[in-house]
Structure 1
């Protein structure tokens, strides 16, 4: 299934696409795979996190998950094996969320080719301004990986016009000027931000950072094509709560109301 098909199928069902986040190696290798099995029935796409020591865009919940995965010895080879295992379970798009340092440390071509061979659809690169290294972005495209970059409420029209064309997977729209984390309500102005983005790209737009309940999901669905749920899932795991009720609540919020 292509990324475009995943978003279109959700739209056909009258809702925004749901993109759950799963950290590789958290709570351990088998636990991460079990999490995937639990979220797949609700997911249109999956975001798979690569554990990293300095996740500057992530709040405390995802930081704790990353630190635990690293303490248990999760390394790049383990993440690649995780992606292979996930790909064997589904044909849904798989986006690897990674900071740029592991890409550079591994070697961009080697990194991109390895994840493409493992079954990844694309990459989310939160700390790479694509115009700072267009050759690296082109290399990812040449290998066959889609790319997704972040835009925020603070992004100017000029910045949107620069970044959006590099998003060949989807545009990841940050709901707040801050880090990841579950919130009770998203800020106003998201529909206007998404419309500004859509003036510069035909790619789907997904909102992340703060999707945790039916209220925030409904706000995201009114503005964008998809929503990412991350910290709320990890927090549920930390508290020993089942993931399914969280996913079901968010998914129900993503259905758009039809005017009569």
Structure 2
């Protein structure tokens, strides 16, 4: 069965563009505004919304995301507050909502309980940055039972064997880790992401989206040449922090413009 996230990616592809996956910190700057922000992101053209619940030890998050999620954590936001938030968002948009969560939060809440609550709230699945498929049997079972996507990360350092396992056990898409946007190293890093997507395709992955360090419409356009989608976090979070919901919507529209494949082909020449 094709999941909602897969349908969203396939719909973008049919429209001649890469999908746009937009990340926001769950509950930032407050629960009410967080709902408005997610809806604005959908209305600006995002194909998939990714919500990051706050965590005390966010090893993968850059300084801006850490700053905003810390603020949410200090406001008293807890895992149980995530599900009503998702329910309010999914009541107002058809765009699938994914959670990007550190594994410890899911484990503490209870894997089965978390999956059931997420599905009941209308959530589409979970991106798990710090657990690998071979250690995730319990999560894979729960995800299957509640028809949730399980999105694992693939890095340029992953072996071919590991990429095959990731491709086989992921649904929705494979989160392809790039390290882009560092001045002067841009071309090499772009090449690393491009190579990794090609290796994932060889390993059997049908859909791969590229994230980490994707901050401009040009980055998005480059990714649109070879991947199924681009994942943007920091640039959107910064726009929300500095310009509120309107600032976020404007930034999202600007970034989404990079997803069109004819735009991507044009930028490449």
Same fold (TM over 0.5): yes
Which of the numbers 21, 26, 29 marks the counterpart of 2:31? Answer: 29
* 2:40 is equivalent to residue 38 of structure 1: yes
Contact 2:102–2:130 at 8 Å: present in 1 too?
yes
Equivalent residue, structure 1, for 2:20: 18
Do structure 1's residue 47 and structure 2's residue 50 form an aligned pair? Answer: yes
> Alignment partner of 1:113: what SS?
helix
Post-superposition Cα deviations, 1:185-219, rounded to whole Å, max 9, x if no partner, equal 45323222101101223431100111111211111
Aligned length: 255
Contact 2:178 2:192 in 1 (8 A): no
**Alignment partner, residue 243 of structure 1:** 248
8 A contact 1:190–1:223 mirrored in 2 = no
Higher helix share: 2
Following superposition, the deviation at residue 238 of structure 1 comes to 2.6
Whole-angstrom CA distance in 2 between matches of 1:227 and 1:133: 25
Which residues of structure 1 form unaligned runs of 5+?
none
Query: Displacement, 1:136?
Result: 2.8
Aligned match of 2:218 in 211, 215, 229? 215
**What are the superposed Cα offsets for residues 80-125 of structure 1, whole Å, 9 maximum, x if unpaired?**
1100001101122211111110111111111111111111111100
Residue 117 of structure 1: aligned partner? 120
> Structure 1, residues 12-68: CA drift from partner, whole Å, max 9, x if none?
221100011121110111111121121112111111111111111111111111101
Q: What SS class does the counterpart of residue 156 from structure 2 fall into?
A: coil
**Structure 2: distance between partners of 1:61 and 1:70:** 14
Q: How does 1:79-228 map to 2 (within 5 A)?
A: 79-176=82-179, 185=186, 186-228=189-231
Q: Distance in 2 between matches of 1:28 and 1:157?
A: 42
Cα distance in structure 2, aligned partners of 1:150 and 1:39: 23
Contact 2:111 2:138 survives alignment (8 Å):
no
TM-score, scaled relative to structure 2 = 0.89
Q: Which residue of 2 aligns with 1:229?
A: 232
**TM-score when normalising by structure 1:** 0.92
Matched, 1:67 2:65: no
The residue that corresponds to 2:261 in the other structure is 256
1:183·1:216 contact (CA, 8 Å) conserved in 2?
no
Runs (4+) of structure 1 exceeding 4 A deviation are 181-186
Q: Is the 8 A contact 1:183 1:212 kept in 2?
A: no
| Contact in 1 for aligned 2:98/2:127 (Cα 8 Å) | yes
Given that residues 166 and 174 in structure 2 are in contact (C-alpha distance below 8 angstroms), is that contact kept between their aligned partners in structure 1? no
- In 2, the alpha carbon distance for the partners of 1:75 and 1:39 equals 23
